[in-house]
Amino acid sequence: EVVMTQSPATLSVSPGERATLSCRASQSISIFLAWYQQKPGQPPRLLMYDASTRATGIPARFSGSGSGTEFTLTISSLQSEDFAVYYCQHYDSWPLTFGPGTRVDIK
Amino acid sequence: QITLKESGPTLVEPTQTLTLTCTFSGFSLTSSGVAVGWIRQSPGKALEWLALIKWDGDKRYSPSLRSRLTIIKDTSKKQVVLTMTDMDPVDTATYYCAHRRDYSHFDPWGQGILVTVSS
């Protein structure tokens, strides 16, 4: 089983600042990684897939990078609507697994 | 537009069997590469993938829950049903179903259903 870890657990950022979230896989997953955003009381929303492809309707301030075991989600200039929890998920093999999440809150 | 909606009991007693239905629209579960998965989230916790059924009938389960899960599809009704046996309070969670295509990510997700296990 591929174990996904995320860091930091919580990221405190001021609006307008850059946020960098990390996701690590316990073994190589190529680029088979997705990022989701989840706000309270809502289901997860797809942000990124194949590590760096933005999903439909996702603003350009979101970008993804990485391959193998190390991945990054960057939010270039945080907007008020971006404060949420972010999860990574691999789909390289079975079982599918998610990371524990990174909470981005207002500094 | 693809939509999914979960339905089922919101309260089950310990040891009972949970049956959840995902009713979807906007896609066909007979189309190549399409799948529907179930994912749950305990209160305040992370996401946990449970099971998935593909367009060709192939089924995949979380190894840790395999013995308790069954997933089936009814393509004519556009439904996917998940059953989980021997429910325990630790299974209290919001259960989501989600569309998957091309062996990739989940998108979109249903709104979820909160299931509480309590006597």
pLDDT of residue B16: 98
Is the CA virtual torsion A48, B66, B40, A97 positive or negative? Answer: negative
pLDDT of residue B102: 82
Q: What is the largest CA-CA distance in chain B?
A: 43
Establish if B56 touches chain A: CB-CB under 8 angstroms. no
Question: What are the chain A neighbours of B103 within 8 Å (beta carbons)?
Answer: 91
Average confidence (pLDDT) over B95-107: 94
pLDDT of residue B101: 86
B105 Cβ contact partners less than 8 Å away, ≥ 6 residues apart: A34, A46, A49, A55, A89, A91
Q: Give the mutation candidate from B59, B107, B111, B113 for the A interface (greatest A CB count, under 10 A).
A: B107
The closest alpha carbon to B22, from B78, B92, B60, B94, belongs to B78
Mean pLDDT score of chain B? 97
pLDDT of residue B40: 98
- Express each pLDDT in B86-99 by its tens digit: 999 999 999 999 99
pLDDT of residue B20: 98
- Express each pLDDT in B11-34 by its tens digit: 999 999 999 999 999 999 999 999
- Which residue stretches of chain A have pLDDT < 70? none
Q: Which residues of B8-22 are buried (b: 16+ CB within 10 A; e: fewer)?
A: beeebeeeeebebbb
